[in-house]
Structure 1
């Protein structure tokens, strides 16, 4: 049975689970169309997550996916690094009071419990790997389990714990890198290379993510050996996406030649590598984009949150995290349905 059949999809398209950008309405639109809509729930409280799942179940009777960030109890609760001097100086110069939370991230164990108590058709995981026991428990509840990998060794690890599929995220992808092994950080692999190397070492069904913007891109990754395409950046400028207007305009400006389409993998926003459009923040502080000196994820993410939120209020894209993949030049201002119809033409 193919992954398309296993997941009950009409089209080989997954809308990427972009935390902060996805909504039940966006995900349901994709699912009702025949793809797999998803919610990036890594930053969502357990109560809100349960409510969102209930909303999804009222908006669609088709399969949908919930994505969680795998973080240890220590990662979720520890905020013991000092705010970097350059960031502290920025807050002082802008007369902004930094508002640090008591904990830098949501409790992953509590979020996972929501998926046990309120089962969903598909659950995917990023930033780490769950145990075989967790995989089996989800599968026993009728949930299909999908891992995320930036390196073939991570894909192998997901196969070994019994996951139903793995999403291979090439270096072209926007937003945070989903893997956890040092090998995937040291030498990021392009998507087609990643697919080829992974197919050589495991037969787990593959989903491809990174730079996929057209129906032709989908056919290319299928030819390479992936069964489904996970599309993210293309959805950011559609009507159902939840990103703010200044972020959306920056993406559209890049596609219209009004700003550079250059993106960069950076740790400066969160402490974890993530691909974003170049803006003033990345230019101003590029000298500090160093693994050895930056606080780790999610601590730095908590430290820059006030800056990013204040920039959103000012409608200033230059100090927001403008997550975008290398296909950003092809984004369009369109409805979610229009994008989906374009993607499936000729498939």
Structure 2
């Protein structure tokens, strides 16, 4: 292990981890209890992506994970206000409506675009977990204290050093620094990081100069050498998402998984792109027909009234609006209209079990 793994009060020691790997909390069904428990039982930190999960289902999933491992694991929630999670106040873009009509896709939007964060958070207080992590925003210091009283460690997500400082100031136990290379949704909330997103190593370097808090590095990490590199740059743990998507225990649909493996075998381009077109919030995924066909609408960002018919509604409203398209694409086994979230290291994915992946990574790390 490197020196950072043995610092006093380090996350490795606090959580009794034996390898410096955090499995990223990917929402949407990717992180099954079986995947999470396999990571934790190996000695890493498995994570449940629960931002889109109903509170009663979240309770059940927590119990399922607890039945499969007695090791630490994390639950991740998306920080949304009650207004954000309950309100549809934007029109569906005309080009999306036209797509649904052209393909005879029935659209029945839910009454609310997202789950209630307050109700999800209450589950963490009533059914405590070892680690709670948060993305898309920041919680209050009172909420941090409430989790600490339950024995839960708190991890924030940041795309900018000032976001990391905000988490440190309210007493978080660690911050996950997510570089521009990372797949899936960007976890920060400040406008500073959106126009000129920072690469992971630059982000770690700049953050280390203003905060003294354990850092978890995320973004393009695919090998044991990558883990050592981010530790040298100031992180203690490495968070990996894309590498776990093609494991046997991953819960993503078969079409999505095959497209990732096609990249690894050269059958599909490894090109990824940050886009708001699926959800209204920046996220990185493989470039497909949907992103190419509707790319011109990226410029119409959240409630830009200059072209109200083409404006991209904010997250989570657009996310709810594109869900029927993604469901249709899944049924049709059509990857060109699925959100194929993936990081810039996607070409290195393999079809293997979690145990095989972890063994390989730690062999490279120790080697």
Shorter-normalised TM range: over 0.9
Distance 1:278 1:337 in 2: 30
1:280 corresponds in structure 2 to 289
Which among 44, 50, 59 is matched to residue 35 of structure 1?
44
1:245 pairs with one of 243, 254, 257: 254
Please state if 1:320 is matched with 2:338: yes
Aligned partners of 2:244, 2:63: CA distance in 1, in Å? 23
C-alpha distance in 1, partners of 2:90/2:289? 25
Q: Distance in 2 between matches of 1:55 and 1:94?
A: 39
Q: 1:2 aligns to what?
A: 10
**CA displacement 1:214-243 (0-9 Å, x = unmatched):** 000000000000000000000000000000
Match of 1:331 in 2: 349
Task: Give me the whole-angstrom Cα distance separating, in 1, the residues matched to 2:14 and 2:205.
Answer: 23
* Equivalent position SS for 2:319: helix
CA distance in 1, matches of 2:349, 2:25: 17
Aligned position for 1:73? 82
Q: Does 1:102 align with 2:111?
A: yes
Structure 1 stretches of at least 4 aligned residues deviating more than 6 Å after TM superposition:
none
State the alpha-carbon separation in 2 of the partners of residues 315 and 268 from structure 1.
Answer: 20
* CA deviation string 1:276-296 (max 9, x = no partner): 000000011000112132100
Displacement of 1:89 in angstroms is 0.4
Tell me if 1:181 matches 2:190. Answer: yes
Q: 2:219: which partner in 1? A: 210
2:317 corresponds in structure 1 to: 299
Structure 2 residue runs without a partner (length 5+): 1-8, 305-310
| Aligned residue among 31, 35, 43 for 1:22 | 31
Could you tell me how far apart the structure 1 residues matched to 2:109 and 2:155 are?
33
Residue number in structure 2 paired with 1:60? 69
- Name the TM-score, length of structure 1 as normaliser: 0.99
Corresponding residue of 1:12: 20
Gaps of 5+ in 1: none
Q: How many residues in Structure 1 have an aligned counterpart in Structure 2? A: 347
Shift of 1:30: 0.3
Aligned Cα RMSD in Å? 0.6
CA separation in 2, counterparts of 1:245 and 1:289? 28
TM-score relative to the length of structure 2: 0.94
